[in-house]
């Protein structure tokens, strides 16, 4: 199985998941930032990692997801300030799936990702702070060891 892991990451959270995803996949898996991503149709399995921006996959990842329409095996992973069980995150995952319309989704994983404190202060100061802002205090220190272990189990269920 020829596998590819693509990610977008501003502060390193999603990159951390991407590196672990690559480790959990068979030897020879290619790890690539989204800016250097190859044609996904050359790969049997593509894992795409994004961070949430305004309730959606970040724009660069969204662009790559467009190229995955109809792909036979896709795995999604993400980091965010919102609670992983929130509607906000569920909607964002659904959005990612709808961008890559017609792809076969083998699985997905997401977890908290610590939010840059400067961004947090800015967002908190808005007249109407976004819904995820109260959850973001719980994101400090994530992704952590437990997140990476849950990711490993998620990948194992897809690969085996």
Ligand X SMILES: Cc1cc2nc3c(=O)[nH]c(=O)nc-3n(C[C@H](O)[C@H](O)[C@H](O)COP(=O)(O)O)c2cc1C
- Positions that interact with ligand X (CB under 6 A): 9-15, 51-55, 79-82, 88, 113-116, 119, 130, 132
Distance of CA 130 to the CA centre of its chain: 20
CB 155 to ligand X: min, Å: 18
CB 140 to ligand X: min, Å: 10
> Cα separation of 138 and 136, whole Å?
5
Q: Which two tokens stand for residue 91?
A: 């909607």
Q: Which is nearer to ligand X, 119 or 156 (CB)?
A: 119
> Cα separation of 155 and 160, whole Å?
8
CA atoms within 13 A on the CB side of 26: 10
Q: Which is nearer to ligand X, 12 or 38 (CB)?
A: 12
CB 123 to ligand X: min, Å: 7
Q: Which is nearer to ligand X, 97 or 159 (CB)?
A: 97
CB 27 to ligand X: min, Å: 25
> Cα separation of 45 and 23, whole Å?
14
Helix (H) or strand (E) holding 56: strand 56-57
Q: Which is nearer to ligand X, 73 or 142 (CB)?
A: 142
Q: Which is nearer to ligand X, 18 or 25 (CB)?
A: 18
Nearest CA-CA partner of 70 in 105, 102, 107: 102
CB 88 to ligand X: min, Å: 6
**Would you say 111 and 143 are in contact if contact means Cβ atoms under 8 Å apart?**
yes
By beta-carbon distance, which residue lies closest to ligand X? Answer: 113
């Amino acid at each position: 199985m020829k596998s590819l892991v693509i990610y977008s990451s501003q502060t390193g959270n999603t990159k951390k998941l991407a590196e672990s995803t690559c480790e959990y996949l068979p030897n020879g898996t290619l790890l690539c930032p989204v800016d250097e991503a190859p044609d996904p149709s050359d790969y049997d399995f593509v894992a795409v990692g994004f961070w949430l921006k305004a309730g959606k996959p970040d724009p660069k990842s969204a662009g790559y997801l467009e190229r995955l329409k109809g792909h036979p095996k896709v795995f999604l992973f993400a980091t965010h300030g919102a609670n992983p069980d929130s509607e906000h995150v569920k909607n964002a995952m659904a959005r990612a799936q709808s961008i890559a319309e017609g792809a076969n989704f083998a699985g997905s994983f997401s977890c908290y990702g610590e939010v840059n404190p400067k961004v947090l202060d800015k967002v908190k100061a808005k007249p109407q702070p976004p819904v995820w802002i109260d959850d973001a205090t719980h994101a400090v220190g994530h992704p952590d060891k437990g997140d990476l272990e849950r990711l490993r189990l998620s990948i194992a269920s897809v690969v085996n």
